[in-house]
Structure 1
C-alpha cells in the first residue's frame, strides 16, 4: 500500500509539468519584426558630435549669425532626440488615421473625421503615462528638442502640443501630425503664424517626411506647393503615400496614379521619379470588391514596404545625425563666405546705406561672385528671397571679416575629425 502511494504521487508530479497548448493572438506589425535597439556606443558617437559642434562649428555659426539666417544654435537635446517622422497632406487625407494604424490605437487628443479636424501640430512621443503637454511648456524644456520653435512666437506655440503615451513604436521614433494644408488663399492668410517656416524647421529635424494624398484630392494647392518647396534640401527624406486607394477600382487607380505623378513632376523639380506607396492605411479591411484580388495583393506588398522603411529609421538614425551635421557645417561655411564678402563690398566711410541697398538688390549676383571665388556648388547656397528678407534687418558694415582659422577648423573637422570618429566607433546596429 505504501509503494502504491509513492507511485501515484510520482505519476501526478509528472502530469503536472506537461505543457498545455496556448492560444496566442496575432502580433502587431511592430512586434512581428524585431525593432533593433541601439547599443551603448551610439551615445559615444553622439557625444563626439556634441564636442565637435561646441569646439569648432558653433563659434563659426555665432560669429557670422548663422542662427538668424538659417537655423538656431543646436543644444544637447537636438543631438539626443529620437528619430522623427512628419506627416504632411491636405485635410482628410488620413494623416491622423495613418498614425493610429501604426500605433494600433489613438494617441491622446487625436480627432478623426471627414472635416479638417487636426488644427495644430501634434508631436506623439513616448512617455510614462497618457497626457498632453501644451506647446509653451514643451518649448522651454531643456530635455526636449523644440527650443527653436520659440522663434515662431506665441501664436504658433498655442497651436502646438505634445501627446505622450507608453508605446513600443514611440520608444523608437517620434511622430509629428500636422494640420491639413488649406486650398484657398483667404484661408491661408488667416493663419496667425508662419506655416511654411514651421514645416521647414520640422523638415530639417525629421528623418522621414510622408506626403499623403487622397485619390479624390490630387490637386496641389498653392499653399501645398509652397509647403513642398519649403522642403528644399530634404528631398532624400520625402516618401509619397497614395492613401485610401481602395476607394477606387483598378482602372481608376491606374489613372489616379498617372495624374499624381504628373502633378508631382510640376512641383518636385527633379528629373528622377519619386517613389509612391499605394495603400489604405487604416484599421478597416481592404475593399477587395473594388480593387480585386490582384489589387489587394499589391496593397499588402506596398504597405509592407513602407512599414519596413519606417522600421529601418532607428537603424539609420546615427548615420542620419552625421549626415545632417555635415550638411549644417557646409551651410555654415557658405554663410560665413557670404557675410564676409558683403562686408568687404561696403565702403569705409560714406554712402553705406546706398551700398547696402545695392547689394540687397543684386544679391543673386553677389552669390555668384562668392561661388566663383571659393569654388562652391551653386546648389548649397540659401534662398535669395529668404536671405534678402532677413538681411534687411541688419547693417552689413557690422558683419565680421573672413577669419581663415575658423574656416580651417571646420574643414579639418569635416576632413579628419568626423572620419576618425566613424573609424573609432563602428555602426552600433551592425
Structure 2
C-alpha cells in the first residue's frame, strides 16, 4: 500500500526508495476511489465465502430456501411505499381483501378483481336516459365542443357506450383495445363478450375538464317491442358495472318522454346500492311554458316514486343544457331565473366530484369488502350443507332451489344486514355452473384480517394522509 501511495505522489519506484524504511513509515495511505461502493456491492458474496470457509452457510442466502420462502410467505409491500391514501388502499387490497376474493370466487359471483388502474382512474360521470333526451348534448355543453365520434339528432344516434376521457390527441379507440389496455380501468368489461365490446369505444381529446372527470355516454334506453330485440349483450349488466365504478349517475328526462319503459325500469333497478350517486335532470325544459313545466315536474316525480320505490324525494334538476343561451327560453322571466339557479346547483355538484372522489373510493372499497365477506359466508355455508358421501347432485339442486332460505340462514347465523346480500336470481344462475362440493370451507383468519382492515387499518390510513384532491 505504501508503494501505491508513492506511485500516486509521482515518485519512481526503485531499490533506493525501498531501502529508505524511515521515509516509508511517514507516508499517508493511498487514495482508493470507488472501493467503498465495490466492497458494498460484493459484501454479500464475501460474507458467503467466509461462512463457507467456517463450515456454515447462512440460511437467508440459500437459493433453495429463497424459492420455498417465496411460495410459502406473503410478499408484503414495505411501509415506505405507501405515500397516499390510494397507495394504502392498493396495499390493503392486495394483502388482505384479494386473497379472500380469490378463495371464495368473488370475481365470478359479484365483481371482477381490481387492478391498479381501478384505484388510479379519474372520477367518472355516467349519463342515462331514453333516446333523444340530450345526453350527448349535455356532454357537449360542458366541454363547449364536440368530442370525437359524437352524433346528435332526434333519432337514436348514440348506439354504443362511449367513454370520453383526456388524451394527448383527438381519436377514437375501439372497445377490444380498451379492454386489454393496462392503463385504463375497463378490463372487467371483457366478461360481457365481443358483442358488447363491438358497441364500446373510447373518445380521447385534450381538455382541462377531462383532466379532472371522465364521462360515460350511453345508448338511449329503448321502449316497446324494440327493447326485446335490439340488444345482443347484457345491457343492464353493463350499466350495473359502470354504476359501481362511477362517482355520479345522471338520469336525463325529456318533458315529452316522461313514460318509463320496462327496460328503463330494469336499468334503474340495476342501480341498486348506488342510490347516493343518482341525480335526475329534467332536460329541455325550455320547450314548455311555466304552467306546463309545473305539471311535467309533478308527473315526473310521481313516475320516479313508483320506480325508485323509496319514500324519500329524489333531487330533480331543471334546465336546458344545449348551445342556446338561457335568455331565449320560452318559459319567460320566471323560467329563466329558475334555469340559472338549477344549472348552477348541478354544475356545483359536478365541480365537487374531484374533491369527493377520494372519499367515494374509500366508500366503494369498504362496500366491496363487506360484499366479499358476505360472499365468503354464503360459499362456505353452501359447502357445509353438502353431504360427505352420497346424494351430492340432489343436495346441490335443493340448495340452489332454496337459495333464498339459505341466505336467511347465513344472515341469522352471522348477524348480517339483509340489505347487503346479493341478488338471489343472479346468484342462482351463476351457482348452477359450479360444483358446490369443490368450494372452500370457512377460514376465520381471512375474515378476521378483513375485519381488522376495516376496523383499524383504514381509519389509520385516513388519519395519516390527507385527501389528495383538496
Asked if these proteins are the same fold (TM beyond 0.5), I'd say yes
Instruction: Give the C-alpha shift of residue 185 in structure 1.
Output: 3.7
Q: Establish whether residue 269 from structure 1 lines up as the match of residue 309 from structure 2.
A: yes
**Which of 210, 219, 222 is matched with 2:262 structurally?**
222
Cross-structure match for 1:292: 332
Cross-structure match for 2:381: 341
Q: Structure 1, unaligned stretches of length 5 or more?
A: 1-40
Q: In 2, are the aligned partners of 1:288 and 1:295 still within 8 Å (CA)?
A: no
Count of residues in Structure 1 that have an aligned counterpart in Structure 2: 390
Q: Flag the 1:271–1:150 CA change in 2: closer, same or farther, 3 A.
A: same
Q: In 2, are the aligned partners of 1:125 and 1:162 still within 8 Å (CA)?
A: yes
- Distance in 1 (CA, whole Å) between partners of 2:169 and 2:146 is 14
Instruction: Give the C-alpha shift of residue 120 in structure 1.
Output: 0.3
Instruction: Give the C-alpha shift of residue 186 in structure 1.
Output: 4.0
Q: Establish whether residue 133 from structure 1 lines up as the match of residue 173 from structure 2.
A: yes
- Distance in 2 (CA, whole Å) between partners of 1:173 and 1:188 is 33
Q: Flag the 1:289–1:181 CA change in 2: closer, same or farther, 3 A.
A: closer
- Distance in 1 (CA, whole Å) between partners of 2:230 and 2:393 is 35
Using the size of structure 2 for normalisation, the TM-score is: 0.82
Cross-structure match for 1:236: 276
Q: Establish whether residue 257 from structure 1 lines up as the match of residue 297 from structure 2.
A: yes
Q: Establish whether residue 421 from structure 1 lines up as the match of residue 465 from structure 2.
A: no
Q: Flag the 1:62–1:289 CA change in 2: closer, same or farther, 3 A.
A: closer
Cross-structure match for 1:351: 391
Q: In 1, are the aligned partners of 2:82 and 2:88 still within 8 Å (CA)?
A: no
Q: Establish whether residue 143 from structure 1 lines up as the match of residue 183 from structure 2.
A: yes
Q: In 1, are the aligned partners of 2:282 and 2:319 still within 8 Å (CA)?
A: yes
Using the size of structure 1 for normalisation, the TM-score is: 0.89
- Distance in 2 (CA, whole Å) between partners of 1:240 and 1:143 is 31
**Which of 161, 167, 178 is matched with 1:121 structurally?**
161
1:160-218 superposed Cα distances (whole Å, 9 cap, x missing partner): 00000000100000000000000024443331110000000000000000000000000
Cross-structure match for 2:91: 51
Q: Flag the 1:62–1:428 CA change in 2: closer, same or farther, 3 A.
A: same
- Distance in 1 (CA, whole Å) between partners of 2:412 and 2:353 is 38
Q: In 1, are the aligned partners of 2:358 and 2:469 still within 8 Å (CA)?
A: no
Structure number with higher relative contact order (C-alpha < 8 Å, ≥ 6 residues apart): 1
Cross-structure match for 2:40: none
Cross-structure match for 2:149: 109
- Distance in 2 (CA, whole Å) between partners of 1:428 and 1:88 is 29
Q: Aligned with 1:87: secondary structure?
A: strand
> 1:397-416 alignment to 2 at 5 Å?
397-416=437-456
**Which of 423, 428, 442 is matched with 1:383 structurally?**
423
Instruction: Give the C-alpha shift of residue 44 in structure 1.
Output: 1.5
**Which of 203, 213, 224 is matched with 1:184 structurally?**
224
Cross-structure match for 2:52: none
Q: Aligned with 2:317: secondary structure?
A: strand
- Distance in 1 (CA, whole Å) between partners of 2:229 and 2:268 is 18
Q: In 2, are the aligned partners of 1:124 and 1:175 still within 8 Å (CA)?
A: yes
Q: Establish whether residue 310 from structure 1 lines up as the match of residue 350 from structure 2.
A: yes
- Distance in 1 (CA, whole Å) between partners of 2:153 and 2:329 is 24
Based on CA coordinates, which of the two structures has the bigger radius of gyration? 2
Q: In 1, are the aligned partners of 2:326 and 2:340 still within 8 Å (CA)?
A: no
Q: Aligned with 2:354: secondary structure?
A: coil
Cross-structure match for 1:329: 369
Cross-structure match for 1:211: 251
Cross-structure match for 2:203: 163
- Distance in 2 (CA, whole Å) between partners of 1:340 and 1:219 is 44
Q: In 2, are the aligned partners of 1:42 and 1:318 still within 8 Å (CA)?
A: no
Cross-structure match for 2:13: none
Instruction: Give the C-alpha shift of residue 288 in structure 1.
Output: 4.9
Q: In 2, are the aligned partners of 1:42 and 1:428 still within 8 Å (CA)?
A: no
RMSD value, Cα: 1.2
- Distance in 1 (CA, whole Å) between partners of 2:404 and 2:164 is 41
- Distance in 1 (CA, whole Å) between partners of 2:448 and 2:466 is 27
> 1:3-82 alignment to 2 at 5 Å?
44-82=84-122
- Distance in 1 (CA, whole Å) between partners of 2:468 and 2:101 is 30
Q: In 2, are the aligned partners of 1:246 and 1:291 still within 8 Å (CA)?
A: yes
Instruction: Give the C-alpha shift of residue 287 in structure 1.
Output: 6.2
Q: In 1, are the aligned partners of 2:160 and 2:200 still within 8 Å (CA)?
A: yes
